[in-house]
Amino acid sequence: MMYRLLADAAMVVHFTFLLYLAVGGFVAWRWRRAIWAHLPVVGWGVLSIVTGVECPLTLAEDWARRTAGLEGLPAGGFIDHYIEGVIYPEEYTNLARLGVAVLILFSYVGYVLRRQ
């Protein structure tokens, strides 16, 4: 039971992380110091896309699920299991990534303009 809760907690934290990745720049419009937390989040997002390095949250959830006796995450990990094919069709992955990149860029431009 405890490992199942741990797996669920890792999933919730992962979704929260991805949400902050997408909209954290807008949060910084209101709370300027939030940009310093958002920059490493964006860096990790870019690193994971470019290099394919697996997220520690994915590893933690997969381990907890398997330890709880549940099926682990598929080979593609968190994104393949919860997002691709569920929130958007798999063939639109690059378009979704581009959309998030544009959203981040727009939020950063707005952040700089609001600081002036």
pLDDT per residue, tens digit, the chain (116 aa), is 899 999 999 999 999 999 999 999 999 999 999 999 999 999 999 999 899 898 999 999 999 999 999 998 888 788 888 988 888 998 998 999 999 999 999 999 999 999 88
| Burial of 38: CB neighbours in 10 Å, binned 0-12, 13-18, 19+ | buried
Tell me what pLDDT residue 1 has: 83
Q: How far apart are CA 24 and CA 45, in angstroms?
A: 13
How many residues would you count in the chain? 116
Domain range for residue 36?
2-115
Tell me what pLDDT residue 75 has: 83
Q: What is the pTM of this model?
A: 0.87
Our count of domains for the chain comes to 1
- 59-68's contacts with Cβ under 8 Å and 24+ in sequence apart are 60/6, 60/10, 61/7, 61/10, 61/11, 61/14, 64/3, 64/4, 64/6, 64/7, 64/10, 65/3, 65/4, 65/7, 67/3, 68/1, 68/3, 68/4, 68/6, 68/7
Tell me what pLDDT residue 35 has: 96
Q: How far apart are CA 63 and CA 46, in angstroms?
A: 24
Tell me what pLDDT residue 99 has: 94
